[in-house]
Amino acid sequence: MSKPMGRREFLGTAAHGAGVLGAISMLPRGAAAQDKPVRVGVIGTGNRGKSLAGTMINIPGVSILALCDINAENLAAGQDLIEKGGQKRPEAYTGDDYAYRKLLERDDLDAVVIATPWHWHTPMAVDSMKAGKATACEVPAAMTFEDCWLLVDTQESTGTPCMMLENWSFRQDNLAVLNMIRQGLLGEIMHCHCAHSHDCIDHWFFDTDGNIRWGGEYLIKYNRDQYPTHSMGPVLSWMDINCGDAFATCTSTATRSRGINAYFERKFGADHPNAKREYKQGDIVSSVIRTHGGKTIVVNYDMQLPRPYDNRWMIQGTLGLYDEARSSVYLEGQSPKYHEWEPFAPYQEKYNHKWWKDMAAMSDGHGGTDYLELRQFLDAVRNGTPTPIDIYDSVTMCSVIPMSEKSISGGSAPVECPDFTRGKWKTRKPYFALDV
């Protein structure tokens, strides 16, 4: 068996359906493509869009027929990438902001993958579903309560599959932990901590010359957890959220904003315009979510102070806990030393999810997670089966954004969490990544 992949190896590889009862098995790379091809269009050919396209051309039976971007240079680079990968040069769509609608008019596309700036995710996903295209949207799929509901309502009314591409749900370590939880090793789950701790000031929110990028505009306008889905991805399945339990209330608190100004002062001097600018976004946002079943989740946003990358997952039950930062577990009655940590690696190997047992097939994008999530999505499109992450879980992850904003603006007041399942969470059964 291949050596389990650790947290640092995941990061080192990076460029930067309700009621589903079964998981879709994945063929190893190099296996013969299935008879029915999947024809894909990609909207957005920046760094992320090209990365996803480069992964998809390595999936058997997948053809990328069309690309769209308003940036002609990025669009041509995307076409070159597909052509060099051995496929026919895809047709290009460009022009104004709505050029993507021309791509959606094609009748030869089975699926559309969206990798554009955040504010375009919901309208593009809605238009894609209305056009009858199975839709995979990058994170976050929505940033307001209204957009969350719009995605749910559109998916339910059209019946068109739609999922958010939350790749950390598919990590090898997180899926092994899910298997451990489902086999009862941690007992009854009570509490979880998760975070997105990633210093993004000098490459995501601003460029290396100090110019503001589209992501930086959000720091000026809003104070909230801007990016909770990488935190929340594995947590929903670990805690059976929307499948027997659901979010009830959320309370959020933010520090003052100081990290962005301090960065510009250090690097460009106190007179730089961005060193003097006022930013609404606090440096650290801490949210506490209480579920209807009496569980709690702590979620941290931490993207603008100097630090190494870390997700800080910790999931705790009545028989023990898993701690990602320590890469350790403690299991009552099983760990060899009383109340002492033991390494997680042997457990990851023992409880390795079936999706990860063929490591030779896993090399593209974020240590293989991108390949895995895209393969599962595209197999669902090909087979007419539910997507691996459904629309309810997609928007529930995103709902932390508006919930945290509303709570912070109200003096850290509790905010009621919307029930996007309309009560179906009470009877829905766990469906994600069933290892059977």
Residue 194 has pLDDT above 80, yes or no: yes
How would DSSP label each residue in 57-80? TTSTTEEEEEEE-S-HHHHHHHHH
Looking at residue 34, its pLDDT comes to 55
Say if residue 14's pLDDT is above 50: no
169-354+391-426: which CATH topology? Dihydrodipicolinate Reductase; domain 2 (3.30.360)
Least confident of 14-18, 33-37, 262-266, 418-422: 14-18
Query: What are the beta bridge partners of residue 254?
Result: 285
Dihedral angle, C-alpha 289, 20, 369, 166, nearest 10 °: -40
What is the pLDDT confidence band of residue 30, given thresholds at 50, 70 and 90?
very low
Tell whether the model's pLDDT for residue 228 goes beyond 70: yes
Average pLDDT over residues 252-268: 98
Count Cβ atoms below 10 Å from residue 342 Cβ, excluding itself: 15
* Residues 331-349, mean pLDDT to the nearest whole number: 96
Any idea where the domains of the chain sit in the sequence? 7-168, 169-354+391-426
- Of the given ranges (13-27, 141-155, 300-314, 421-435), which has the lowest mean pLDDT? 13-27
Q: What is residue 365's predicted lDDT score, i.e. its pLDDT?
A: 64
**pLDDT for residue 360 is more than 90:** no
Q: Which residue, 156, 175, 155, 154, is CA-closest to 166?
A: 175
Task: Say which amino acid occupies 116.
Answer: T
Q: What is the pLDDT of residue 367?
A: 81
Q: Quick one: pLDDT at residue 11?
A: 35
Q: For the chain, what is the largest distance between any 2 Cα atoms, rounded to a whole number of angstroms?
A: 65
- The domain over range 7-168 is classified in CATH as 3.40.50.720: yes
How many whole angstroms separate alpha carbon 63 and alpha carbon 292? 44
Question: Is 208 a residue whose pLDDT tops 50?
Answer: yes
Structure-token pair, residue 113: 């993958």
Q: Is 219 helix (H, G, I), strand (E, B) or coil?
A: helix
Task: Find out whether 406 and 241 touch, Cβ atoms under 8 Å.
Answer: no
Q: How large is the average pLDDT for residues 286-303?
A: 98
Q: Among 8-17, 19-28, 118-127, 203-212, whose mean pLDDT is lowest?
A: 19-28
CA distances to 176, 203, 322, 328 from 140, in Å:
25, 18, 26, 29
Residue 366 has pLDDT above 60, yes or no: yes
Q: What's at 299, amino acid-wise?
A: V
66-93: per-residue pLDDT in tens? 999 999 999 999 999 999 999 999 999 9
The predicted pLDDT at position 48 comes to 97
Residue 13, pLDDT > 80, answer no
In this prediction, residues 244-266 reach a mean pLDDT of 98
Q: For residue 29, what pLDDT is reported?
A: 37
pLDDT digits (tens, 9 = 90+) for 139-148: 999 999 999 9
Q: Positive or negative CA dihedral for 277, 283, 288, 289? A: positive
Distances (CA, A) of 26 to 56, 150, 178, 241: 14, 31, 18, 25
Q: What is the DSSP letter of 95?
A: S
Does an H or E element contain 92, and which? strand 91-93
The string of DSSP letters for 329-380 reads EEETTTSSSTT--EESHHHHHHT--GGGS-GGG--SSGGGHHHHHHHHHHHH
pLDDT of residue 15: 33
| Per-residue pLDDT at 371 exceeds 80 | yes
- Residue % of the chain over a pLDDT of 90: 89
Question: Taking 90 as the threshold, does the pLDDT of residue 6 lie above it?
Answer: no
Give the Cα separation of 380 and 161 in Å (integer). Answer: 9
